């Protein structure tokens, strides 16, 4: 099998920080060969098996993608080819089907049947850090250790939407959205109906900060800024499974593996 090519969208934001962590995390997945590259053009995107969309300014990333003729190729990569994609912070915003919270109109990429609220916790000065328990890392290295997360002008997933078929693509019906992590009720929202209240005060278990829907994974925080490669390693494992499924039986097998992985997370 050829090395698995993982791209990091390098239009704006914290893209460079992902590459060294990917290199380190790949050592735990030496069953496969790996290549990691920065993606700025449609041809570079076409060479990738999987993609990370980094944090940064979601509006700027969208505008540059449009000007460089990457917008539609990115949408096809995510929703038609159904290749593995991970968005962090601004990347999560761009992957959401619905975006709220003000700001300029956003031409996103879509792929996650969720509504995301931008700048949920406020401006740069309201950025914060928190230790989270992430059950989806339960089978990995240092599983019992909490994960230190960094939230910078962070969004949250404010609601899950219907996983109805995407009529803009030829992809199979999407699986349900899985909630992979919540932020305990420590921080208060500054925008929207819950302004001034924490998730706990609103009667919820916590703000949703990590989700997955089939091939698409999103986190509201920045794992690439922590030096902890466990989430990158977990995601590379998911990418490897997807590529193996594609090699064995084409897209149908890869979609089956998505569903199996979803069941494993639910069981954990």
Catalytically active residues, by annotation: 89, 222, 224
**Residues 139, 115: Cα–Cα separation, whole Å:** 29
With 0-12 / 13-18 / 19 or more C-beta atoms within 10 angstroms meaning exposed / middle / buried, residue 227 is: exposed
3-state secondary structure of 212: strand
**Contact assessment for residue 242 and residue 50, using Cβ atoms and an 8 Å cutoff:** yes
CA–CA distances in Å: residue 113 to residues 133, 141, 173, 217, 237: 24, 30, 12, 11, 23
Structure tokens, 262 = 């979803």
**Residues 120, 250: Cα–Cα separation, whole Å:** 40
Q: What are phi and psi of 186, to 5 degrees?
A: -110, -30
What does the angle CA 240 – CA 242 – CA 247 come to, to the nearest 5 degrees? 95
Helix (H) or strand (E) holding 148: strand 147-151
Cβ-Cβ contacts under 8 Å for 46 (sequence gap 6 or more): 73
């Amino acid at each position: 099998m050829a090395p698995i090519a993982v791209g990091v969208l390098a239009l704006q934001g914290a893209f460079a920080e992902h590459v060294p962590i990917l290199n380190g995390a790949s050592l735990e997945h030496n069953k496969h060969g790996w290549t990691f590259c920065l993606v700025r053009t449609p041809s570079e995107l076409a060479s990738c098996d999987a993609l990370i969309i980094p944090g940064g300014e979601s509006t700027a990333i969208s505008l540059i993608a449009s000007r460089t003729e990457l917008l539609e190729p990115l949408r096809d990569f995510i929703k038609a080819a159904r290749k593995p994609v991970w968005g962090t912070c601004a990347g999560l915003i761009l992957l959401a089907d619905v975006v709220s919270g003000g700001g300029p109109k956003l031409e996103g990429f879509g792929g996650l049947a969720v509504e995301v609220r931008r700048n949920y916790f406020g401006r740069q000065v309201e950025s914060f850090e928190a230790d989270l328990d992430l059950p989806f890392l339960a089978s990995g290295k240092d599983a019992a250790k909490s994960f230190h997360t960094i939230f910078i002008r962070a969004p949250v997933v404010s609601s899950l939407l219907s996983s109805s078929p995407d009529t803009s693509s030829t992809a199979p019906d999407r699986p349900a959205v899985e909630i992979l992590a919540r932020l305990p009720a420590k921080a208060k929202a500054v925008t929207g109906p819950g302004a001034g209240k924490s998730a706990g005060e609103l009667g919820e278990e916590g703000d949703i900060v990590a989700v997955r829907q089939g091939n698409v994974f999103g986190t509201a925080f920045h794992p690439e800024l922590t030096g902890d490669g466990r989430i990158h390693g977990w995601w590379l494992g998911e990418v490897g499974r997807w590529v193996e499924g594609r090699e064995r039986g084409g897209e149908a097998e890869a979609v089956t593996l998505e569903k199996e992985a979803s069941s494993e997370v639910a069981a954990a």
